Every structure is written in C-alpha cells, then in structure tokens.
Copies of this chain bind each other. A is one copy, B any other.
C-alpha cells in the first residue's frame, strides 16, 4: 500500500483536528444541510461555518454549492480515503516489522 501524499495528509488531519469541523462532518453524514442550519446547530455564525467549510472543502471532506440563496453542504468521500490510507499504511509498516521480528525469533 502506498502512503497518501503528505500535503493531502496534512490538510485532512489539520481539518479533523478541530472539534467544530468534526461536528459539521458528523452532521453531514446524516444528509446535506444548509450553512445556516449548521450555524444554528453549532451556535456559531454563518461566517464561521463558511470558514470551517473552506478548510473541509480544501481537504476533500465536504463540498458546498449555492442553490438560489442557500449554500447546501454535503459530505465528500475523498478526504476520508486519505485518512484510511494513512492509518492502513502505518498499520502495515508496524505489522511487517512485527512479522520480521517473529521470523527472527522463530529461527
């Protein structure tokens, strides 16, 4: 398994490091929502939601689209694939190491 690109990993973990952005993601998992609904749910301003959305969009965790006067936000899978690939890569590296250690101990 190839490690995901460092800049994607940086962006996605920086985005997920913030609890408000994770709360947005958790809400969008249940279905699309408007920016103003997210703001009301999180008790923050629509401007603050917009700033968090920019970070989420840059990291491939969400998308948003203006429909009339409403900004509709949706979950996006590509950022999650980066997290999954990074964790799987770390796991593979240390499990290989344990396998090699096992071989050495068996001989």
Residues of A that sit less than 8 Å from B by CB: 9-10, 13-14, 16-19, 22, 25-26, 28-31, 75, 77, 80, 83-84, 87, 90-91, 93-94, 97
Contact = CB atoms under 8 A, between A and B. Distances in A.
Contacts of A77: 91
Given A16-B16, A17-B17, 20 more contacts: A10-B19, A13-B13, A13-B16, A13-B17, A14-B17, A25-B90, A26-B90, A26-B93, A29-B93, A29-B97, A30-B93, A30-B97, A31-B97, A75-B90, A77-B91, A83-B83, A83-B87, A84-B84, A84-B87, A87-B87
Q: Is the interface of A mostly helix, strand, loop or mixed?
A: helix
Contacts of A31: 97
Nearest to A61: B90
12 contacts: A13-B13, A13-B16, A16-B16, A16-B17, A26-B90, A26-B93, A29-B90, A75-B90, A80-B91, A83-B83, A84-B87, A87-B87
Contacts of A75: 90, 94
